[in-house]
Amino acid sequence: MPIKRSSRKAKSGDIFGQPRRRPKMLRAGLYARVSTNDQQTLPMQIRALQQYTARRGWTIAMQTREVGAGAAQRQFREQIMEAARRREIDVVLVWRLDRWGRSVTDLLATLQELEHLGVGFVSLTEALDLTTPAGRAMAGRWQSLPSSKGRFCANVPVLAWHRLD
C-alpha cells in the first residue's frame, strides 16, 4: 500500500490567489447616553461598547457619556462629530440608534455626514454595522424614509418613527 506524504508546498496564506490583507486597526469613538440621572444603564452601555471594540481589534480613541433629554443640544455627541471631522476617529460606536439620533431626519443627516467623512458607524443592539457592505446597503434603504419631523420609538426592535403633530 502506498504511503501518503504531505505536500512540501509552502502555504502562502493567500486567499484565492490574492494576498491576505491585515485588518485595519480602527480608532473608535464611543458614545453612551441616558435621558435622566435616574437611569442606571451608562456603565452597562460603556462596558458593552468597550467589549465590542476589543473583540473587533479596534482601539478606543475617545469615549463620551452624556445625560440629557433627546431634544436638548447634545454637547458630547458634537465632540464625537468634531473628532470625526478632524479624522481622529474611524468609526462611531453607539449602544442604540435612539441614543444617537434625536429624530429620523437628524439620524440620517449625521450618518450622511459620517459617510462623507469616511467614518463608519455601528449601533450595537440593532446589529447595524456601516463599516460592512451589508450594513451600508441597509442604510441605503433608509433614504426612502419620510423626512418629516419625527422621533424614535425606543421600545420597538426595528427602526420606527412617529410623526410629531
Which one from 7, 12, 35, 148 is the annotated catalytic residue? Answer: 35
Note the pTM of the prediction, 2 decimals: 0.70
Say which range, 33-37, 45-49, 53-57, 86-90, has the weakest mean pLDDT. 33-37
Taking only the tens place, the pLDDT of each residue in 76-133 is 889 999 999 999 999 999 999 888 887 888 888 999 999 999 999 999 998 889 888 8
What's CA 83's distance to the chain center, in Å?
15
| Packed helices 75-85 and 104-117: angle between N→C axes, nearest 10 degrees | 20
pLDDT of residue 35: 81
pLDDT exceeds cutoff 90 at 41: no
How many angstroms separate the CA atoms of 32 and 65, rounded?
5
For residue 35, indicate whether it is catalytic. Answer: yes
pLDDT exceeds cutoff 60 at 159: no
Name the fold adopted by 27-163: Rossmann fold (3.40.50)
In eight-state DSSP terms, residue 121 is E
